[in-house]
């Protein structure tokens, strides 16, 4: 194939991953000229173009070399590697992107007894992920019948075409609405930046390196939180010990209260309510968790 001098990234044309994928690319400083109802978007500032397609087509486009990279759910990527992608070079997950989080789970009717995978022996399981489900069953040494459906998997037990299902779950609302209960998780998924195991080293190599660097910065910032709190000097050690990972916190005096300190810490990830409650118990008060918009160390 003729080599290209511009990078081409495949992403979902219209769906759950579209807006967050465009947002992450925008935060990497990439802007595109063509309107979004076109298949192809020309990159304005940098030599990076977009191909807007159905998410299921993305791994194949990378494998064929039509695109250098793709933004796609790990569920779609792994399913492709286990089924369609057997002939070509394996694809690689280059960066997890932190959005489109969901899990591929087995769910059974509320009343069905379930202990572990062996409970599914001899049962019919409906799924759009025959590759991932088949592998999970094989690894567990369970002989069950995989019923492959393109969609509406969750109604299969009610229709009598399957005894259980294996589908994507996010809030769990769809399962509850269909009187199903989640019993096992096969895969924790999120959107990833996927590409061939070996990236091109021609003109596109430099752009790839730049893109990865910017992306790492964007991901780091989007996962960072600034934690602000007050504590007494006496409790400082106990409070500091509980702070989520990150660089050393900054300490500031509090006017008129010589025993009190204001603490400012950059945390490497989400700060949960539970963590905040623990830190409060250790003697912190006036706590704030703020998102970080930009960071330049």
Does 68 contact Zn ion by CB under 5 A?
Answer: no
The binder of 100, among ligand PRT, Zn ion, none, by C-beta within 5 to 8 A per type, is: ligand PRT
Among 8, 32, 52, 55, binds Zn ion (CB under 5 A): 55
Strands 180-189 and 102-109: antiparallel
* Cβ at position 55, least distance to Zn ion in Å: 4
The binder of 281, among ligand PRT, Zn ion, none, by C-beta within 5 to 8 A per type, is: none
* Cβ at position 8, least distance to ligand PRT in Å: 18
Q: Which is nearer to ligand PRT, 100 or 195 (CB)?
A: 100
What sections of the chain are H helices per DSSP?
18-27, 58-63, 74-82, 130-140, 156-159, 173-177, 203-223, 236-241, 273-281
Does 56 contact Zn ion by CB under 5 A?
Answer: yes
The binder of 247, among ligand PRT, Zn ion, none, by C-beta within 5 to 8 A per type, is: none
* Cβ at position 75, least distance to Zn ion in Å: 10
Are 155 and 178 contacting, i.e. CB atoms less than 8 angstroms apart?
yes
Q: Give the interface with ligand PRT as residue ranges (CB under 6 A).
A: 12, 15-17, 54-56, 73, 75-76, 100, 102, 167-174, 189
Torsion sign across C-alpha atoms 107, 109, 110, 115: negative
Q: Which is nearer to ligand PRT, 71 or 279 (CB)?
A: 71
Minimal CB distance residue for ligand PRT: 73
Taking Cα atoms as reference points, which of 64, 54, 55 lies closest to residue 85? 64
The binder of 102, among Zn ion, ligand PRT, none, by C-beta within 5 to 8 A per type, is: ligand PRT
Q: Which is nearer to ligand PRT, 148 or 174 (CB)?
A: 174
d(CA 227, CA 220): 15
Please report, for residues 16, 133, 218, 221, 250, the alpha-carbon distance to residue 296 in angstroms, rounded to integers and kept in the order given: 31, 44, 11, 10, 17
d(CA 76, CA 224): 28
The binder of 73, among ligand PRT, Zn ion, none, by C-beta within 5 to 8 A per type, is: ligand PRT
d(CA 152, CA 148): 11
* Cβ at position 240, least distance to ligand PRT in Å: 37
Binding piece for Zn ion, criterion CB under 5 A, among 51-59, 107-115, 118-126, 211-219? 51-59
Q: Which is nearer to ligand PRT, 55 or 230 (CB)?
A: 55
* Cβ at position 22, least distance to Zn ion in Å: 17
d(CA 115, CA 119): 6
**In the structure, how many helices (H) and strands (E) does the chain have?**
9, 15
Q: In what order do the strands lie in the sheet with 250-254?
A: 250-254, 257-267, 225-232, 285-291
Binding piece for Zn ion, criterion CB under 5 A, among 50-58, 109-117, 127-135, 204-212? 50-58
* Cβ at position 166, least distance to ligand PRT in Å: 11
Q: Which is nearer to Zn ion, 194 or 263 (CB)?
A: 194
Does 93 contact Zn ion by CB under 5 A?
Answer: no
What phi-psi label fits residue 198: left (phi over 0), alpha (psi between -120 and 50 degrees) or beta? Answer: beta
Q: What is the binding site for Zn ion (CB under 5 A)?
A: 55-56
């Amino acid at each position: 194939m003729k080599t290209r001098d511009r990078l081409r990234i495949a992403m979902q044309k219209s769906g759950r991953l579209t807006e967050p994928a465009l947002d992450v690319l925008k935060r990497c400083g990439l802007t595109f000229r063509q309107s979004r109802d076109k298949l192809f978007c020309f990159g304005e500032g940098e030599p990076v173009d977009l191909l807007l397609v159905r998410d299921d087509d993305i791994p194949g486009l990378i494998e064929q070399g039509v695109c250098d990279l793709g933004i796609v759910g790990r569920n779609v990527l792994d399913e492709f590697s286990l089924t369609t992608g057997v002939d070509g070079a394996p694809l690689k997950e280059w960066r997890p992107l932190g959005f489109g989080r969901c899990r591929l789970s087995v769910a059974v009717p509320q009343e069905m007894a379930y202990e572990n995978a062996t409970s599914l022996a001899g049962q019919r399981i409906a799924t759009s992920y025959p590759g991932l489900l088949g592998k999970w069953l094989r690894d567990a040494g369970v002989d069950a019948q995989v019923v492959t459906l393109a969609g509406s998997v969750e109604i299969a037990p009610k229709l009598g075409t399957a005894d259980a299902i294996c589908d994507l779950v996010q809030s769990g609302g769809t399962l509850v609405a269909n009187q199903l209960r989640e019993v096992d998780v096969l895969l924790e998924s999120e959107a990833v930046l996927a590409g061939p195991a070996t990236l091109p080293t021609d003109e596109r190599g430099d752009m790839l390196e730049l893109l990865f660097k910017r992306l790492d910065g964007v991901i780091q910032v989007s996962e960072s939180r600034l934690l602000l709190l007050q504590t007494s000097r006496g409790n400082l050690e106990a409070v500091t010990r509980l702070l989520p990972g990150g660089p050393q916190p900054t300490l500031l005096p509090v006017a008129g209260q010589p025993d009190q300190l204001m603490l400012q810490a950059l945390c490497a990830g989400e700060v949960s309510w539970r963590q905040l409650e623990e830190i409060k118990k250790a003697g912190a008060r006036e706590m704030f968790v703020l998102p970080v918009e930009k960071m330049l160390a």
